[in-house]
Amino acid sequence: MTRSLWAHVVLLGVVLFALLALVRPQAIVVPDEGVYLAQADALAHGGWEIPREATDVDVRGELSRLLPEAVLGDNEVAYARHAAYPLLIAPALHLGGYTGVLVISVLGLWGAAIASSLIARRMDPALAIPALWLVGIASPLVFYGYLSVAHAAAAATTGFASLGISRWVDLRSVVGLVGGTLALAATVLLRSEGTLFALGLSIALVLLSLRQLRTRGIDVRAMLTGVFLGAVTVASYLADTRVDHTVTRGDTYGLNPAAIATRSSADPVSGSWASLLRPFGRSPESATIWVVTAAASLIAASLVMRVAPRRWRVALGLLVVAAAASVAMLFDPPGLVTGLLPAFPMLAAGLVWLHRSDLEDPMRARIITTVAITAAGIVATLYANGGAAEWGGRFFGLLVPLTVPLAVLGLSRVAALMDRTQRRVAFACSVCVVFALSSSALRLQADLRSDTADTVQGTISYLEDHFGGDPPLVVVANERPGGNSRRFWDVPEGVEVLTTLALERLDAAIEPARAAGVERIVVVTDVDPADFEDQVGTILDENGWAVLESSSTPQGGAELVLIGEPSAASSG
């Protein structure tokens, strides 16, 4: 790296860790964090198994708040499907708590930006710094860089795997081969889509080794490298499933191509809409119109310059519209943007400038082919709702370090058609869009953290204020089923939390609770207390229970309703 690039790398690191201080991570953002943290906490204390709660009520482990991967008698394993991640964050959690785990994610985001910068530098040294900052502060990885999930770390290993293997194939760098192979194996161990990337890179190497078969013959090094990496991918996948099998005592060991290529719940069409195109979460937010306007205008400006460069005034006008929409976005409450395209319009704006001639360059061809194969695999295996509570297509996040250099290359071609003034206007407008989207991602995180903290702490305070040292059982049951019970991954000793997922299944907790002698349950729900009895009144009547009390104020985004035997009302 040049001195200038080093300076930018250090500056980006300072910015990312300064943002960590501003984030104030007092609680988790998405429920999935809870299952990873619970498993890491168990590992930090010496083992994989976690004692189950309220086993007299939840005899078979069907109501566990963690929605665990495996139930083993009175214990459970929260998460072992990709054991490398909880093993990675366990020391950080033990030493630094939740903030310590986020340091791992920030390092992953920083590493992904560095890897992307080095890939771009191999294409053109002038692209290195823009790629660094685009990944570090403008991509959807910014959202995942401040969560306790493996996406940022996997993006970093993906970038370094591609970089290392390219250095081996093009420059015969043994260090590149060793480092790239280790990074590729780590990607497989961290994320399910990491297997698709590893296979994509292996297939790309083999295919590209044959493209000059008639003129120059087979590129033997590239072909053998592809075969070798394919073997490493299979070995890593087998090792990962073997650990899962051992920890959960389940029958998961073995190479299952169907598990890699398809999912029983896969819905590529709906999943593509959710993870690639949708500009909102469950439903449109007030800010959605500004997100759509900013993203569409930015991409349209690039297309205008691509198709009719003489109409640069139209393009600049569209960029001004994008900037204005971005400013308006800052004044609306942030909403979830699940699609990659609306969350990261700079990517599409650059990729539309790729030429067929880019396939003549070995490294560009390798990246384009790898990304195409991997993306096709991800699309084929997407769930109907995409990545659920995601920002910018989380399953595609590991491809960001590979695609950004290509996008920056394309954007440099746009800039070459502009004079200095036009470039300055375009840059300023693009910065507005980037700042608005990234700040929206972090503002949304802050809102979700606050909601989690208010819900969990509010519930604990309610139990302490009303029941002292003998709190009743807590059951999370929502009208909209989800994993919100995982937000209670770390509660004080003596507090027991279960979940029925859906409110309509509340009898699954009431019936065994009555059989175990439990007289009261505090229900944490998303249903207004005024409507609660209307929805579950029949279930309560059938069990001889009733609503005893409702919390006077919502706890975050949740309501607390005390239910039980009518005779128990006076004992609280």
Residue 226: partners with Cβ closer than 8 Å, 6 or more residues away: 201, 202, 203, 204, 205, 206, 209
Tokens at 197, concatenated: 């990337």
Spatial contact of 472 and 562, defined as CB atoms under 8 Å apart = yes
DSSP state of 29: S
Tokens at 367, concatenated: 């990246």
Host H or E run for residue 71: strand 70-72
Taking the C-alpha atoms of residue 272 and residue 299, their distance in angstroms, rounded to an integer, is: 19
Residues pairing with 562 in the sheet: 522, 549
Using the CB atoms, write b or e for 157-170: b if 16+ within 10 Å: bbbbbbbbbbbbbe
Spatial contact of 108 and 145, defined as CB atoms under 8 Å apart = yes
Tokens at 368, concatenated: 């384009």
Q: How far is CA 278 from the centre of its chain?
A: 16
SS3 at position 57: coil
Which strands, in side-by-side order, build the sheet including 473-478? 497-502, 473-478, 520-525, 559-564, 546-550
The residue to which tokens 């700040």 are assigned: 439
Q: For the chain, give the number of residues.
A: 572
Q: How many CB atoms lie within 10 A of CB 317?
A: 14
DSSP state of 50: E
Class of residue 553 by CB neighbours under 10 A (exposed 0-12, middle 13-18, buried 19+) = exposed
Look at residue 263 in the predicted model and tell me its pLDDT: 47
Torsional sign, CA 139, 144, 145, 151: negative
Spatial contact of 139 and 400, defined as CB atoms under 8 Å apart = yes
Tokens at 388, concatenated: 């659920």
Residue 296: partners with Cβ closer than 8 Å, 6 or more residues away: 345
The residue to which tokens 């500009």 are assigned: 279
In this structure, the strands spanning 497-502 and 473-478 are parallel
What domains appear along the chain, each with residue ranges and CATH number? 3-444 (no CATH), 468-571 (3.30.110)
Torsional sign, CA 282, 286, 290, 296: positive
Per-residue pLDDT of the chain (572 residues; tens, 9 = 90+): 789 999 999 999 999 999 999 988 889 999 999 999 999 999 999 899 999 999 999 999 999 999 999 999 999 999 999 999 999 999 999 999 999 999 999 999 999 999 999 999 999 999 999 999 999 999 999 999 999 999 999 999 999 999 999 999 999 999 999 999 999 999 999 999 999 999 999 999 999 999 866 567 788 999 999 999 999 999 999 999 999 999 998 844 444 444 444 445 678 999 999 999 999 987 787 678 999 999 999 999 999 999 999 999 999 999 999 999 999 999 999 999 999 999 999 999 999 999 999 999 999 999 999 999 999 999 999 988 876 679 999 999 999 999 999 999 999 999 999 999 999 999 999 999 999 999 999 999 999 999 999 999 999 999 999 998 889 999 999 988 788 999 999 999 999 999 998 999 999 999 999 999 999 999 999 999 989 999 999 999 999 999 999 887 788 889 999 999 987 665 55
SS3 at position 321: helix
pTM, entire model:
0.94
Spatial contact of 168 and 225, defined as CB atoms under 8 Å apart = yes
